[in-house]
Amino acid sequence: MKILLPPSETKRAGGTGAPLRLDDLALPALREERAVLVDALVSLAHDPVEAQRVLKLSDRQAGEIEHNRMLRTAVTMPAIDRYTGVLYDALGAAGMDAAARRWLGEHVLIHSAPFGPVGALDLLPAYRLAAGTSLPGVPPLRRHWSAPTSAALADESFVLDLRSESYVALGPIPASVPSAYVRVVTGTGRALNHFNKKAKGELVRALATTRPRARTQKGLLEWAAQQGIRLVATPQAGVLDLIVAG
């Protein structure tokens, strides 16, 4: 089973890892697409005024342009530690034991805008790029990523998709791959926004700490029932509801 997570706009600064090595990232078939975007972001960062406009940064956020300028040389840290915010705080990877972190490394992909899906333990620098950004000289990210990412996921046996819709568009899971998209809803079926990310983070934390051998949707649902997690199939094929209080 592979789990696809969205990234976060907010990221932890610093790190102790060696500079970015595209050859070391998960899904190596995406190396060319990654290199194109790294080149584009570094080039754009050399014009801070234009970079601020393209990336839609406020004056307060303008310092993040330097992260992009330093993409090839900056220190790195595991992707699961680089991202912050509600989902990643709820997941709490930094406080996990070695076995749980290894499980994350084997089963979790985080779908970033500049690098596509990367492994949870892949080493990333800080950066600034959102899914909806159009970079000079590069096709729209949806066109840049969609087909190559789908092809790179074609060999997976089962994918649990926890991404937001904007990142799903950057890499639809092929129809040939068994998959399930997770919605977070209340018991009455009302979709939630605030608790959406928190619930997804807690779900992945439960998976990493219990490390089930689920390889199919059926196995995943059986595990969830054993854990008291209300993850249920819906009438819509390929969609699961994660039911929370709210």
Tens-digit pLDDT profile for residues 126-166: 999 999 999 999 999 999 999 999 999 999 999 999 999 99
Say if 228 falls within a structural domain.
no
| Total tally of structural domains belonging to the chain | 1
Say if 117 falls within a structural domain.
yes
Average pLDDT, the chain: 96
What is the identity of the amino acid at 51? A
Calpha distance 244→190 (Å, rounded): 10
Say if 89 falls within a structural domain.
yes
Kindly state the average pLDDT of the residues 114-119: 98
* Residue 29: domain span: 2-180
43-58 residue pLDDT tens: 999 999 999 999 999 9
pLDDT value of residue 157 = 95
179-238 residue pLDDT tens: 999 999 987 666 666 689 999 999 999 999 999 999 999 999 999 999 999 999 999 999
Say if 210 falls within a structural domain.
no
Say if 125 falls within a structural domain.
yes
Say if 234 falls within a structural domain.
no
Place of tokens 């220190």: 75
Taking Cα atoms as reference points, which of 241, 43, 57 lies closest to residue 133? Answer: 57
pLDDT value of residue 245 = 81
Say if 84 falls within a structural domain.
yes
pLDDT value of residue 93 = 98
Q: What DSSP element (H or E) covers 44? A: helix 31-45
Say if 226 falls within a structural domain.
no
* Helices 217-227 and 194-210, packing angle to 10 deg: 90
What is the identity of the amino acid at 243? I
pLDDT value of residue 186 = 86
| 210 alpha carbon, distance to own chain's centre | 21
